[in-house]
Amino acid sequence: MREIVFDTETTGLDPKTGDRMVEIGCIELVNLVPTGESYHAYFNPERDMPAGAEAVHGLSSSFLSDKPLFRDLADDLLDFIGQTPLVAHNAGFDFGFLNAELTLIDREPVCTSRMVDTVALARKRHPGAKLSLDALCSRYGIDRSHRVKHGALLDAELLAQVYVELRGGRQIGFELAAEAAATDTSRPVEISAVRKAPAGPRRDPRPHAPSEIELARHRSFLAGIENPLWG
């Protein structure tokens, strides 16, 4: 099963008040195993960057000024995500910005039936616990020491690891991947070489039974043990 774990960075909290998406990062999973395929892009928001938002992700108006518009990369992004489920942390936020950008260029929004919210999964599995991405990384022993500021691709990579743990851990992903490979009839079956029996005369096996002398020594040793458990 193919899934896309993604994260966005924005100019603020609400696309309805003019905030825009400035970065998106996507990680591909197949049967809960990262494939190594990813999608990452920055976008020129065509507006200023509030200081509060820049403090979170470090993306300035100057840095984004020469980046492509969302409309210029929309087809590439939509091709990458396809029709697969989309996993995000507090997914309503990320879906809201993604669909707002699609609406601005007269494209169909992504159906929310594809939405998988890791906050909801974590709340069900760990009721009453902290549910931030940092807190979940700490809970599952995921290294986030390189996360100085928020970044869409980095956060998607961390979230992909968290998502696998929320779904049952890394081992289940390996098992599903093995099952998928075993049942994939589209791939040619490789037959390994059969080892031939060695040529030449056959040698009788060496005797490994104890000799009478060894058995007598063993009986003498056991007799010298006081209060043996087997007695």
32: left (phi over 0), alpha (psi -120 to 50) or beta: left
Bridge partners of residue 27, in order along the sequence: 5, 38
In a domain, 197, yes or no: no
Question: Is 89 one of the catalytic residues?
Answer: no
In a domain, 74, yes or no: yes
Report how many domains make up the chain: 1
In a domain, 219, yes or no: no
Entry pTM:
0.72
Q: How confident is the model at residue 129 (pLDDT cuts 50, 70, 90)?
A: very high
Predicted local confidence at residue 41, as pLDDT = 97
Which of 126, 150, 208, 218 is an active site residue? 150
Contact 158, 7 (CB under 8 A): no
58: left (phi over 0), alpha (psi -120 to 50) or beta: left
What whole-number distance in Å separates Cα of residue 47 and Cα of residue 25? 21
In a domain, 221, yes or no: no
In a domain, 207, yes or no: no
In a domain, 42, yes or no: yes
* Residues 198-219, mean pLDDT to the nearest whole number: 71
Specify the CATH number for the domain of residue 141. 3.30.420.10
- Residue-wise pLDDT for 54-109, tens only, equals 999 999 999 999 999 999 999 999 999 999 999 999 999 999 999 999 999 999 99
- Whether residue 139 is predicted with pLDDT greater than 60 in this model: the reply is yes
Contact 20, 69 (CB under 8 A): no
SS3 87: strand
In a domain, 26, yes or no: yes
What tokens were used for 58? 């470090």
**Residue 166, domain extent:** 2-183
In a domain, 140, yes or no: yes
Predicted local confidence at residue 209, as pLDDT = 73
